Structure formats: structure tokens, C-alpha cells
Amino acid sequence: MLTRKKVQTSILLVLGIILLINLIASRFFFRLDYTADQRYTLSNATKDILTQLSEPVTISAYFSEDLPPNIEQVRQDFRDMLVEYSSNSDGLIVYEFINPSENQESEMKAQQSGIQPIMINVRERDQMKQQRAYLGALVQMGDRKEVIPFIQPGAAMEYALSTNIKKLSVKDKPAIALLQGHGEASLSSIPQLNQQLSILYSVEPFEFSDTMGVPFQYKTLVIIAPKDTVPQNHFNYLDEFLNRGGRLLVALNTVAGDFNSGMGNKVSTGFETWLKQKGIEVEETFVIDANCSNIMVRQQQGQFMMNTPVQFPYLPAITNFTEHPITDGIESVVLIFASPIRLTQSDTSVVMFPLAVTSEKSGIQNPPLAFDVMKQWTLSDFTLSSLPVAALVEGKVPGTSGYKMVVFSDGDFAVNGEGQNAQQLNEDNISFMSNAIDWLSDDTGLIELRTKGVTARPLDASLEDGTKTLLKYLNFLLPLILVIVYGVLRFQIKRNKRNELMATDYVSNSK
């Protein structure tokens, strides 16, 4: 029989257990993540960045409140992520959430931090209206700060956050060498690429001398569009660099087109021969592809001269990519006079595979040739398919971690140009080369987070409204129903056992 003292003791014991659990939870945080996209699990790259922090990082999250459910979920996901960051950093990650829509002072503070409002569509009483909302964050370490102006629903939040924290915490950025001296693209001709790389690296122009190869301070060497003949001793320097485990990116032109003369010719620098010795042959032919970009052609239409877009198969639009961190998130890259890459390596210590290939309707043409921009292309011109235009090579070198090399058969697809010839490039063009340099240079695995986002799984739009409603309520009520059924069955089983015991006692007593 329960006495008052026993009840009080039980209550105090339960309260003590709850208090103890809270104390333990405040010191040791953990969460079981069963989501398919592992949205609540931090990567090893992020954990490494957090464990190397030497001073506190403050994250001010500027999020509006009372937002539509799909937008509100972004706020909750970001909060959950910050909890993980804080628990894995021994408290060096400190965060706060501020509602800029609450008052004018908070809104001004958000805008001064570099976070501007966006307009979102909100349905209210069967009407659509637009609402101002803030979805950004300010990351600070000491007097240094970085801004995440907009956290898009489903975006790679961990990559954005970890990259900015690393950018603030790294005092000496790793240096990347940009080879010069053979007509290569200069640093000033690749402003978009340089801007993207400068987040984590310092890109430094470098030239070989007669007595010195690649200095040991460089782990990655980038070669973009060489035009002049390369001396043999410079290739010897490249061999030494690879043999010590160096990382190399080569964007090479073996053919080139001149729009002024309308001609296409070979380009010989010696790199094509050196690469062939490594088992990678960049052929001296033009790739043509039915899936291509346009050029503008001036045509007479009546009394006027008009610029008309015309498909130009010598500018292939690449949309077929091998699954790899370098190609994650890349949708379309436009190349400029590319060539096929043929992999000829038979050495088992070298692993190679293509990163990008042309469409199913492709072909090749041999230089020299004259471009006919008004040619009517037919299927008979595209008799080949899936021609590699970018390749990855990993080789094992005894005594080192092995070398890595990425080869593009177009040297100009990420080059903006200089002066009046400079042009803005497709973001995927820049990201493709930047991803390759990241993969070569960064061993932390941070590049793999670029496409780690929250995967939305909405109901099939073809379902009827009645079916959607049924699934919605079933998703909500089914767990409750299962718990109730389990409770009823458990109660029934216990009552049956109790009845059996009572019947047994009765029989024994009657005897």
C-alpha cells in the first residue's frame, strides 16, 4: 500500500532524475539522425574546423518570424545546425537569433551588417501577397566578420557556415601557384575564378627559373591556356613536382579558333606530348556537339542589319558529368573549341576516369578548317557520343601520398579576358574549375558540403486533393493510433495474466 511518505519519496526521486539528466545533457549533447540526407549530422570537415578554433566565433542569425511553414523550416534547420556547431566546438561557437522585423533598430542593424530583406509570397485568406523577410547571418571572430546575406531554403547551409568560419579562422591562407611564362592566362584575366578561390586560398603567379622548379610552399599548381612552346627542363620540374605528391590542374588548348579569320588550327606547346606520356592524350581535333551554345551573327533583314543567334557546334554545352565532388552541383558548362581526351594509361598504379563528356550527338573535325557559321548541320555530322572533355588522374608514388591531376581539353572556358575583351562568364564554368582546384588543394573534404542541402519531398502533384488530405491526416494520426492500440493490447494481455493467476490461486485454495 502506498503511503504519503512513499509518494513524496517517489516524486523527489523522479525530480532528481530529471535534474540529473538535464545536467548531463547540458554538458554532453547528442542526437540520433535518421534523416536520409543526414541534415543534422556535421561532416568530418566541419568538425575539424571547429576543433581547430582558437577564439570564440559569434553568429548573429537575422531571421524574421511569422513566416510561411516552408520558410519557417529554414529558421528551425539553421537553429538546429547552430546547436550542433556549438556542441562540437566546446562552446566557442556562440549564436543569437534576432528578429529584424520586430522594430526599426533591429532592421537597421541587419542592413548595416550586409543582410537585405527579400520579398516572399504569402497566401492569406485565399489571396497572395508579398512580405518582407530576413534570412541571413553575420559570422564574427574578433574584429573580422563575414556575411551570409541569404540562406536559401534547401541550400547547403553547412558549407556556407563552415566556409565562412574557416575563412575567419585561417590566418595564413594556403598558396596556389598560377604558372606563367608560356603565354598562360594571367591572374588579371581570371577575376571571377580568383574571387571564388580567394575565400580560402592565395593565388600567386609563378614562373620557372633555369635553376628552380616548383617551390615546396605550393601543393597545387594551376596551368591555364599556355600558348608558347615549353622548354624541356620545365617539364622535368613538373615531373619532380608530381613525384613528390604535387597536385596539378591543366586546362589545355590543342586547337584554337579565330573568329576574325574564321579559321581553326592546331596549337602545339609541348604539353600535349608530356600529358601523353602520362597516359592522357588531348587529341588535336575539334569537338562538335549538337547540344551547343550560340554566337551572334549580323544578318540583313529588310533594310536593317540585325544580330541573330546561331547555334555553333564548336561551342559544346556540356551537361553530362560523372558523379564526383568536382562535378556536384554543376549543371551546364559551355566550352570554347574543346578537344576529346583519350585515356591511354595501362599502369594499374594510376587511376583515371572522365569527369565530363559530350552529348549523344557529337563528332570531331580535323584542323585546319574554315568555320561556316551558316551551315545547316544534320545528324550525319554527329556520329559519335560521350566524348571525354575533362579527366581526373590519381597516381601512386612510393614515399608520398600520391599525385592528383585534373585535365580540361579547353583552356579558355574559365578565362574572362582583359580590358575591352573581358566578359562575364557562366557561374557553372567558374565553379567547375574552382571545384577542381578545391578538390586538389583541400584535404579536409569541405568541397563535398557544397551540395549538402535539405532535400524536400513534397507529395506528388498529380494526386487528388482528397488523397492528399487523407495522407496528411494519416501521417498525423497513425502514430497516435499505433500507441493507443499498443496500450489496449498491453492492458488486455496483463488482465488475462491476472485472471489466470487468480484462477490458479482459487483452485489451489479449494484443494
160-202 pLDDT, tens digit per residue, is: 898 889 888 887 888 999 999 999 999 999 999 999 898 889 9
**179 and 160 together in one domain:** no
Statement to judge: residues 156 and 245 lie in one domain: no
Q: Is the pLDDT of residue 1 over 70?
A: no
Strands, DSSP E only, in 362-435? 362-365, 369-370, 388-395, 403-408
The answer to whether residues 142 and 185 belong to one domain is no
Average pLDDT over residues 70-86: 88
Confidence of residue 454 (pLDDT cuts 50, 70, 90): very low
Q: For residue 109, what is its C-alpha cell?
A: 542593424
For residue 191, being part of any structural domain is answered with yes
Q: Are 495 and 488 in contact (CB under 8 A)?
A: no
Let me know whether 252 and 301 are in one domain.
Answer: yes
Tell me the residue range of the domain where 137 lies. Answer: 25-169
Single out the residue in 432, 449, 466 at which a domain terminates.
449
Same domain, 151 and 222: no
Classify residue 370: in a domain, yes or no: yes
- Pick from 421, 449, 477: which residue ends a domain? 449
Residues 288, 225, single domain; the answer is: yes
Cis-peptide, bond into residue 316, ω within 30° of zero: no
The mean pLDDT value of the chain amounts to 85
Least confidently predicted of 61-70, 458-467, 492-501: 458-467
Percent of the chain with pLDDT over 90: 46
**127 plus 225 within the same structural domain:** no
Count of the separate structural domains present in the chain: 2
Residues 316 and 439 occupy one common structural domain: yes
- Identify whether residues 136 and 224 lie together within a single domain: no
pLDDT (mean) for 259-270: 93
pLDDT digits (tens, 9 = 90+) for 413-445: 999 999 888 899 999 999 999 999 999 998 776
- What CATH number should be reported for the domain holding residue 302? 3.40.50.880
Is residue 407 within 8 A of residue 373, CB to CB? The reply is no
Residue 59: which CATH number?
3.40.30.10
Same domain? 293 vs 432: yes
180 and 277, same domain (yes or no):
yes
Q: How far is CA 158 from the centre of its chain?
A: 10
Quick one: 66 and 214 in the same domain? no
pLDDT in tens, 10-49: 778 878 887 777 666 555 555 555 555 566 678 888 888 8
pLDDT tens per residue, range 312-349: 999 999 999 999 989 988 999 999 999 999 877 666 67
